[in-house]
Amino acid sequence: MAVIVAAALLTVLSVYFLICIAGSSQETIVEIVIAKAWQNRFAKIELQEKCSDYIRHNEKYHTYSKKKLEKKKKADEKQIASYAEKEEFYLSGKGIGITDLLPLVGYRFCMAVGLDVDSDMLRGLILSCEQSGYMELERGQETNGKKNSMLYSYYIFSSVVSFLYVGVMLGSFTFLLMQLSGKEMRISLMTGIAVAAAMAVIGYLPLDSLKNKAAKRKEEIDRELPNMISKLALLLLSGMNISKAIEQAAVSGEGLIYREFVTVVKESSQSISLEGALTRMQGRCSNKYIDKLVTIVSKSFSSGNENLADDLKNLNDECWLEKKHSARRMADKVQTKLFIPTMIMFVGVLVVIIIPVMSGFNLGI
């Protein structure tokens, strides 16, 4: 009976999968190709950032020998070139593989349940895309009339659904194959479930990576922003204008917020105004004090820089006060997490002390 059910399930899932591929629109396939190109570009960018980080770290602490460092750099450069080649392959439109079409099932699911940009399920993912730091996914960037962040979030979510779907297919096939080969029911069922779970995990990894990247950026920005605002306030109080102050503060550190302000300086020196460059940075960075900073600077342009230094000084005080509260909350969380290990150690110490004492009493008796 179980074999019949598995065979029927596999047949139905396979037929529907073929229907999804055959009935897909050209627009959907184009969106998948673009998203695949972005995925390889983002992987290339992440690896380039990792290379820069460990090279800079090695210059300070000499964790790698010269030979080992060169070997690691060559391996990473080879992988970076591979990502760049795949990105170019997808963007050139030379072809697409059958495995690249797996997300089509997820796209069909999104259409069936009516998932759009206003749905709670996708809204958080779209924000993670915009705040991931990838320039292609910035708020307002569009491709073929659609926001890039929405295109990529649809692709990521559809991939999760599709890998889960294909995992059920492969799990059913594995179960059926093992049953026909004479394996026990329990072993066949566990193996089929393991195959389905593995596919689901593989599909979820890009989604998890994107959310983690956005979360790490937010933590780093929250940690570094008070120092940046302090420098801006100090430079403005010394009589420097806002454009020059941002330019000077941007090159005074090496963290993420400094790189973001360097990007603001580059964009404002080209075809974008300082206000527009700050607004773009606001979309990439999730922080309420950056929102307030952009509002203060924008207001200063209309009021002729009146009270700009004082407003930034007040924002600096507020930002540092929040950082102190955040550090206190973090310390409370650490203390709570350490409570259980501390109690376990305390019980262990009591056992080590009490058992010899009780043994001594017994000997005395």
CA distance 175 to 178: 5
pLDDT digits (tens, 9 = 90+) for 329-365: 878 877 787 788 888 888 888 888 887 777 765 544 4
Q: Where are the domains of the chain?
A: 2-216
Determine which of 5-14, 234-243, 331-340 has the lowest per-residue pLDDT on average: 331-340
Mean pLDDT of 97-104: 88
Instruction: pLDDT band for 267, please (50, 70, 90 cuts).
Output: very high
Q: What is the pLDDT of residue 103?
A: 94
Instruction: pLDDT band for 98, please (50, 70, 90 cuts).
Output: confident
Most confident of 59-68, 212-221, 296-305: 212-221
Q: What are the backbone dihedrals phi and psi of residue 356, each rounded to the nearest 5 degrees, phi first?
A: -60, -35
pLDDT digits (tens, 9 = 90+) for 22-41: 888 889 999 999 999 999 99
Is 220 a residue whose pLDDT tops 70? yes
CA distance 333 to 331: 5
pTM of the predicted model as reported, rounded to 2 decimal places: 0.86
pLDDT digits (tens, 9 = 90+) for 180-194: 888 899 999 999 999
| Residue type, position 96, single letter | I
CA angle 72, 73, 74 (to 5 degrees): 95
Say which residue, 189 or 328, is predicted with more confidence: 189
CA distance 296 to 279: 12
The C-alpha R_g of the chain, in whole angstroms, comes to 28
